[in-house]
Structure 1
């Protein structure tokens, strides 16, 4: 972890780390790599994905949900020019990024939808992990 004087993550270093971690997370998603995605999730029953009115908790349940989506069309295209990371503490960051999701059920036509994704990242002895995923329909960062 890049650390500034006093043991704190600098804003620039934090954003660079979050950007790199998020790029790996998106690559695993686009490869439909359930094992890789699950390894990037926070290993806690409090890990949360809230989307489409459904609360999914824990890395096993979240990975299972992704596995269902991967049976159809599922592709993420983040707008990294709009990527924002906020360092909350030396082991917690919040990111926001607009993403176009191309998704569709197996055998059905896909559609594109744009969401603003909010993720909380936590750092432990094994590196960064996704602690929460919250898609927001309003994608305009102001």
Structure 2
């Protein structure tokens, strides 16, 4: 009898240890889920980072935010640009000119279309000019599609709609 009871104690310790490990793991998972930002919040932060990086001419950050795909799409001045490399070349060409975006964040809207896709709409005031020319301001509604990959969210498309405001 004494030998049998000693055999039960290690098994009981093992079961308690397994139970405690399961509880701790579950708690960690719940905390990480609860603390994870919603895709719409992450899209807002990505958009803000993108604008700051563009204004700072921070190529490394801008490039890391854009979707590294030949399917990336940016429409600018009526011309479609496909692929991240082509978009970066166009962005760099604007550095010698005036290029400033002032988003109206009070009207910013992000919607999760799926677990890996978010669509954003935001009115902006866009100030631009060729080098040496007077700057002109114009209002646009910017539509961006964002995709989520293993390394985070990326802008997959940038589509400006001229002289448009969101109506409520």
Question: For residues 33 and 52 of structure 1, what CA distance do their matches in structure 2 show?
Answer: 22
- CA contact under 8 A between 2:120 and 2:144: conserved in structure 1? yes
The structure number with the bigger radius of gyration is: 2
Question: For residues 72 and 36 of structure 1, what CA distance do their matches in structure 2 show?
Answer: 20
Gaps of 5+ in 1: 1-6
Match of 1:61? 86
CA shift for structure 1 position 18: 1.0
Match of 1:81? 106
Greater RCO (Cα-Cα under 8 Å, separation 6 or more): 1
Match of 1:107? 132
Please state whether the residue corresponding to 1:32 is helix, strand or coil.
coil
Question: For residues 98 and 125 of structure 2, what CA distance do their matches in structure 1 show?
Answer: 13
Question: For residues 31 and 76 of structure 1, what CA distance do their matches in structure 2 show?
Answer: 12
**Cα-to-partner distance string for 1:52-109 (whole Å, 9 max, x where unaligned):** 2201000000011011112111111100000000101111000000111111111111
Match of 1:34? 59
Question: For residues 23 and 88 of structure 1, what CA distance do their matches in structure 2 show?
Answer: 20
Match of 1:116? 141
Query: TM-score w.r.t. structure 1 length?
Result: 0.88
Gaps of 5+ in 2: 1-32
Do structure 1's residue 136 and structure 2's residue 142 form an aligned pair? Answer: no
Bigger share in helix? 2
Query: TM-score w.r.t. structure 2 length?
Result: 0.75
Bigger share in strand? 1
For this pair of structures, how many residues does the alignment match?
134
| CA RMSD between the two structures | 1.9
CA shift for structure 1 position 34: 2.3
Match of 2:120? 95
Match of 1:15? 40
Q: Which runs of 4 or more aligned residues in structure 1 lie more than 3 Å from their structure 2 counterparts after TM superposition?
A: none
Alpha-carbon spacing, 1:30–1:139, altered in 2? closer, same or farther (3 Å):
same
Please state whether the residue corresponding to 1:103 is helix, strand or coil.
strand
